[in-house]
Chain A
Amino acid sequence: MEPLKLHFDVSGSDFTCAGEASGNIKKALKEIGFSAALTRNVAIAVYEGEINMVIHGGGGQIDVEITPECISIVLADQGPGIPDIALAMQEGYSTAPENVRQLGFGAGMGLPNIKKYTDEMIIESEVGKGTTIRLKVFPQ
């Protein structure tokens, strides 16, 4: 069957809107009937990605394709890119500015959490061009 497609534009200028896309995705997964645990995992992974997009990427796009067998998520931004992906994946490594740290973000757990809560994670990034993160979660 055709996958269910959802698209969200994430604003880079309004920090207070971060979390809306992940909230909508969570609601959709619940309505489709995925388990509460899977729904929570996907919601956390997308939320972390969404926050990254706002803090670092200057906004971006989230595309979700849902089938009963697989949930795939593409988080894309046109921001500064990640120079060293391995370093960025380390827990606690952060380049977040002080103003967002004061709000409790930028602990260097964003990317590691995305990996933790998904089954597949591929990061493509080019300095100066942007970052695309492809995620897959398999319900079974």
Chain B
Amino acid sequence: MDKYFHSVRLDKDKCRGCTNCLKHCPTQAIRVRAGKAIILKERCIDCGECIRVCPHHAKIASSDSLDRLKDYKYTVALPAPALYGQFNNLNDINIILNALPKLGFDAVFEVSKAAELISEATRLFMETQAPTKPVISSACPAVVRLIRVCFPELIENMLLINAPVEEAGRIAREKAVQKTGFKPEDIGIFFITPCPAKITSFKQPIGVDKSNIDCAISIKDIYPVLLKAMEHMDESDELKAMHESGVIGLSWATSGGEASGTLNDNALAADGIENCMKILEEVERGNLDSIDFIELNACQGGCVGGSLTAENPFIAKTRLLKLRKYNPIACNHLPQKSLPDHLFCKTPIEPCDDVMKLADNMKEAMERMNKMKELIKIFPGLDCGTCGAPSCKALAEDVVRGFASETDCVFRAREELQDIDDSAALSNIIPAPFRETKED
């Protein structure tokens, strides 16, 4: 598997080479070349911001289709709790859970069940292991990747307990093997995902050697077929009671849910990638040492804000609040109230900050930085993106790295042309940002 596998992809036919994704990428991982956006794979954290902002829907996630069901002898659907907030007028989660087998799945296992186990494990971990404070959640894979690339010093603060989806996959496979007698590899575990970062975390796992998830179907892909399968089900007498999680499990779909599951008042929850970065900066400065637990979600609103969901995150959140009302606080508990070893991340989380270095050796890097300083002075500072880089500073960095040239800046190119041909025609064309207005 490619070291830098990413689930976020480009549909070249749809890409117009505009600057929308360029300007919104939190790690400046996108450039425009030959009229198309390209993703710098060593920088991309799969947060899905580009999918969200692309007006031409050219950014896509490489998710699986229901056709993959035939690749396995027995299949289990793992619905993310965010899925429950997608449907209008839904008053019973069991309708979704009963409809999933109609699409071809042999069994269903709610991720919210495993989420309650992870919440309990987190509480035990905080009580018994005296971790470095603040403990930072590792459930959002885009945040895990953000920390590796931009905040490697904070890896030691990360909660080294598997994400709910991984634990859900493990239990679901175990149950399926017990029930069918098939080999574990004959069982297909399908996560119904709200975001591309989760897909990446299955193909290129961090913290586990091999993911427990075999396939990922996006919520927006399954939404229309699932909606059809759900028709008239509320009138059916055959509706089985399949929903087995409580308030804590369902809360994981929205920002603040995981933090509230720690039952610790001294916890913080932030959502939206920019907000997450600001919080991580504060942690890095040592300003949040007095906080016990920090939950970070790259998407606004939490997982309901994922770029592969079908519904507006605020509407989904309100629906989830309604659905979880009158549910028990939690329905799933760890046996013997102890921390099982299998819940812990097995492989260490490695920093990935080399991508930020300007050169392999410091001398070269410092020379490049000096050159960057000079370039930044002569670039116009408009951050227009016309050069294909997200800002003048990013272009300066690309130039010293050898990925771009100074005259990729249209304003610099214009100056060069003026030096060659000082014709009146060229001199009279002054770009609008530099044109003086009459009031001046």
Contact = CB atoms under 8 A, between A and B. Distances in A.
A4 B353 contact: no
Nearest to A113: B286
Interface stretch (A37-45, A54-62, A93-101, A129-137): A37-45
Interface size class of B (residues with CB under 8 A): 20 to 34
Given A36-B152, A43-B284, A31 B369 contact: yes
A40 B351 CA distance: 14
Nearest to A2: B370
Contacts of A39: 153
Contacts of B366: 1, 4, 32, 66-68
Contacts of B353: 30, 36
Given A23-B281, A33-B361, A36-B353, A44 B369 contact: no
Contacts of B356: 27, 30-31
Given A1-B366, A23-B281, A33 B359 contact: yes
Contact of A68 (B284, B286, B362): B362
5 A-B pairs with least C-beta separation: A68-B362, A36-B152, A32-B365, A33-B357, A36-B153
B153 A31 contact: no
Interface string B344-363: 00000001010011111111
B362 A32 contact: yes
A19 B281 CA distance: 10
Contacts of A28: 369
A32 B314 CA distance: 42
Given A40-B284, A43-B285, A44-B286, A4 B370 contact: yes
B287 interface: yes
A108 to B, nearest CB: 15
Given A31-B357, A66-B366, 13 more contacts: A4-B366, A19-B285, A27-B356, A28-B369, A31-B358, A36-B152, A36-B353, A39-B153, A40-B284, A44-B285, A68-B362, A68-B366, A104-B287
Contacts of A40: 153, 284
Interface string A9-39: 0000000000100110001101111101101
Contacts of B361: 33
17 contacts: A22-B285, A23-B281, A27-B356, A30-B353, A30-B357, A31-B369, A32-B358, A32-B365, A32-B369, A33-B358, A33-B361, A36-B351, A39-B153, A40-B153, A40-B284, A43-B285, A47-B285
Contacts of A68: 362-363, 366
Contacts of A31: 356-358, 365, 369, 397
Interface string A49-75: 000000000000000001110000000
Contacts of A1: 363, 366
Contacts of B362: 32-34, 68
Contacts of B357: 30-33
Contacts of B397: 31
A39 B366 CA distance: 15
Nearest to A68: B362
Q: Which of B287, B362, B363, B369 has the most CB of A within 10 A?
A: B362
B287 to A, nearest CB: 7
A68 to B, nearest CB: 4
A114 to B, nearest CB: 12
Contacts of A43: 284-285
A36 B286 CA distance: 14
A60 B397 CA distance: 28
Contacts of B281: 19, 23
A50 to B, nearest CB: 11
Contacts of B358: 31-33
